[in-house]
Amino acid sequence: MSVKKPQESRSPRRVGIPWSEKLLDPRHARGRRHAHHGLMALVAVAFACGRTVLRQMEDLSADLGRMTRRVLELPRKVSDTALYLLLRRQRPDGLRETVWRMVKQGFEKEMFWHDLFRHGVLSFDGKSTCTSTRRRIEGAKESVCPKNGKPMWTLASMRACLTSSSARPCVDLELIPEKTGEAPAFRVVFQRVVEHFFPLFRIVTADAGMTCRENALLVADATKHYLFALKGNQERLFKLAQQWLVPGSAPLRAYTSERRGGVRVDRELYSLTVTGAPEMDFPDVQQLWCIRQVPFNRAGLPATTEDRYFLSSIPPGLLTPHEQLGLVRLHWGIENGLHWTLDAMLHEDDRQPCQASSVAIEVVAWLRVIGYNLLAVWRFRAPRANKQSLSWHRAMEWLRDALVAARIPEAVTAILA
């Protein structure tokens, strides 16, 4: 792929990893051939370029120009063994703070902004971080593999994503220990993001697994608004919502129709203000929402209709009905943006460079998130064709071409800034 020279010299300067002082080098003082931050940056940038296994990272280090490697303080090609030994020994301390700095600096320098929604929206969702059928992972949930019936260990994490920006940067993550769930992990992550990103968002969205009184109180105490999905885990509230909001009988607030995958999809919004209703008995709840989604087949006939219900603490006058409908769809940005990219492009489900321990898995998860944020901001700022963003694959190749060009050492200088 050809990269224009102005793009080469300008775009890489937007890529930066402001490493935290808490990130310590675990190697022995003697015999160090490469700078610690250089090795960590190599892994993160390799993820951003779609090089997700250690041998590919080794090859990327060989492709870097002489001047680029000099700035990285990597005098020669880095072996995959050296990277594995580092990841096995590295502690995750400082990586969370590094991600926080990246997001804060990116927003302050207007490398991304709330281009999808006028209010900042932070979405929370759980995701599998590592799955193994070969060896037990400390702290992972044990189950039975549906394919072969063998024991399977899955380590999941809770992630927070700024879905009001089309860059959809990952703001924080927390591993979910064995015998716990998404709701407790939500409380841990939410308290941190409120402390460090209070002005960045106003609305919180989450799936039904995090819908509970304690989480609603936590959001209300932080003077934020929530939109929680409502399902059978809140049986009483779910039955009330189904009784009070019957699509077709309740007033229609908003309607959209679009084509997706070559077929038509209609969405309808129904809402009901329940402020002060004693039957609800849920902290700070203002409204019930129902979204009816009607997909059509290729013959133009309606297929299975799906009704989804939500609890909202958003004041009825804060958003227009069409914004309310858009907010529900905006939550899926964490799945279609962050999680899909981590799985399909950065191969989080399939490739783990180091599974020596749960600590090593967490370190790799953080470096993959750093790589994702680099790539997401790069793609967000890249020129668009016909108002369409670059494909993720094209963005990764473009980023690699810019970073390995020997005539732009400032690209790697920005990475170590």
Confidence of residue 299 (pLDDT cuts 50, 70, 90): confident
User: Pick from 92, 84, 102: which is nearest to 42 by CA?
Assistant: 84
94-116 pLDDT per residue, tens: 999 999 999 999 999 999 999 99
pLDDT at 67: 65
pLDDT at 85: 95
The CA dihedral of 130, 360, 351, 141, to the nearest 10 degrees, is -10
> Cβ(398)–Cβ(3) under 8 Å?
yes
Confidence check: pLDDT of 411 > 50: no
Mean pLDDT of the chain: 89
Name beta bridge partners: 122. Answer: 162, 204
What is the distance between the alpha carbons of residues 217 and 220, in angstroms, rounded to a whole number? 5
Only one residue has tokens 């020596």, namely: 356
**Integer CA distances (angstroms), 9 to 18, 203, 407, in order:** 20, 37, 9
Confidence check: pLDDT of 209 > 70: yes
Percent of the chain with pLDDT over 70: 92
363-383 pLDDT per residue, tens: 999 999 999 999 999 899 888
H or E segment and range at residue 76: none
Confidence of residue 260 (pLDDT cuts 50, 70, 90): confident
> Cβ(57)–Cβ(42) under 8 Å?
yes
Q: What does the DSSP 8-state code read for residue 250?
A: B
What is the distance between the alpha carbons of residues 174 and 160, in angstroms, rounded to a whole number? 9
Average pLDDT, stretch 200-210?
Answer: 97
Rg (CA), the chain: 23
Average pLDDT, stretch 299-311?
Answer: 90
Contacts of residue 186, defined as CB under 8 A and 6 or more positions apart, other chains included, come to: 124, 158, 206, 210, 215
How would DSSP label each residue in 302-340? B---EEEEEEE-S-TTTS-HHHHHHHHHHHTHIIIIIIH
Average pLDDT, stretch 207-212?
Answer: 96
| CA 229 to centroid of chain Cα atoms | 19
29-75 pLDDT per residue, tens: 887 888 999 999 999 999 999 999 999 999 999 987 766 676 677 88
Confidence of residue 5 (pLDDT cuts 50, 70, 90): low
| Domains of the chain: residue spans and CATH | 5-95+351-416 (no CATH), 112-339 (3.90.350.10)
6-16 pLDDT per residue, tens: 444 443 344 45
Confidence check: pLDDT of 283 > 60: yes
